[in-house]
A and B are shown apart, each in its own frame.
Chain A
């Protein structure tokens, strides 16, 4: 049923996203695109005094309810964790939080934010990149 997929907690995060916005002069940031459906997500990270712990994290962009809700949940999940911890965060942990059965296509929507966040941390801190992530393998036309 469509109602199972768009359960209340998903709709709540979709309609009232947590951590929605932009951090000017962010310590780390990255943009990602899911070319299948045109979802776009940018993530901004600010570290605490130790330079490792995520003190503030925000996201902006547009996309489907699944991508927006899962990224909103991700924002709550990673605050207070270190870059290293987040780089090692298994996608299953986020998917458990999302808590709905997803087809392979919708899985890409749900995991877009996590991929973008890991790319941002990789750029700022050299933490490992995820082995696979949605939509970030854009080829430059040369």
Chain B
């Protein structure tokens, strides 16, 4: 006996069995019930969504001996004949093979004969988009006013190729791709009837692989059945369908976070040597990145993505460690690579190149990469402004950024830790319970102070001491850390940073920080005080101070002058006045000296007068501007921007 494919064996035979298209089956059933059936339909939709099946069921419903009824009996002569495709009056035409005007003329000649065995002749014209223009036009007149004993059902996957004049003469039904859940339900049923044993995870893999097409899903299930027999495992599915192991994708994602080009190359070659299809890997990597991008941008990603809770958690963890811009860059990069793989015979090289470019922004000359480099530059300058310490040390700056990213999770960066070893995770906070401020995150090797304040033998990363008494957070401390907080916000989300820049901390009590905005920045204020921005600011505050802090935004009274962002130096003085710990003082003096030193060696042209001015921000700005001008000059000389 001939083996019949699952998708043919389990072709739906009644409207109820057509899954995922209730908007269509209900309409048709009701039209039959109330005898309001149109004479021409066009079914549009992607492969495997039930177009041909619905057309046949429609033919049966109309012609069933019990009917016309929405529930064809599937037992009478005509139902059986239609199911078998032997009914003389239900004519299925393959428009793709019979696409010329002659075929349509033949059809037109025969159409006026009354049906031989049943009530209504049904013409099912499948793949109708392949008819030639002449054929389409020849069809127009019959389609508009067919004899009363004729119904047309056209079916196509590409409605855009069907003439509008045809479309307007038909009732159009759009079949939707079927969701993973619905496919799974159907597969479960089929598996049960076929006595296949298949775990839920494997079923999900098959359903996802089908991408909305039930025929693909049932085909894959059948393929599984002939491969594994009655018991199908997840591994079998992965093998037969060539589905990439999710673990590999997460591994790649981790490498993107770590920027480890060598490991990435190892990964590609491991895949290559094991004979994996690199193009498929790239495609699934794109899908993985897409999920990360959605998570980064959508509040409730589960409404878009269908994956289990634990998967979602893993994705979320990875998404939180990548910047959005970065994910977009990867998407562009690998999308391009995926497209090129179509024409290029050397997918390994293409994937390797893409990986290197992903890890090393310098090697990528795309627009997105330039943007990323520009952003890195900006953040370096910003940091410069924040601390004055990282100037001229881009190598360190980028290391700091990376280390901070690694230690982004608040628990981790706030957790008690041993003094960091020289090359270890120098970015982490040294003492228990201390808020991490920017200064303490620098793995800079301070030159040993002559006063021996902290000549701590081997440790190049100095164990910096807290700048405030432990525990309590107060407004002075927040003000002092404001730059660092801004910086943290910037890392989280640049737009939020831009908004927050216009505000300044005013007051802090009962766990609520009041941020003041000048009246001209009322829009900034309104944005910061709600939604995502608020959440980010509060998260940054929590990370930097170690306490949960709510924020409240107010508009400054017009009369009062805009309060200056107070300088680090002023705070240090306050601290000293209030009798901070002796060690703090030493440390601060040290920091100050380092800063002074860097400032002095910086350049002679920095206006000396500004140095003692009240507002050190101005001082920094002046210096910072000078530096940027110089950099641009340099670039101009090299004509790099040409």
Same assembly: no
Which B residues are closer than 8 A to A by beta carbons?
none
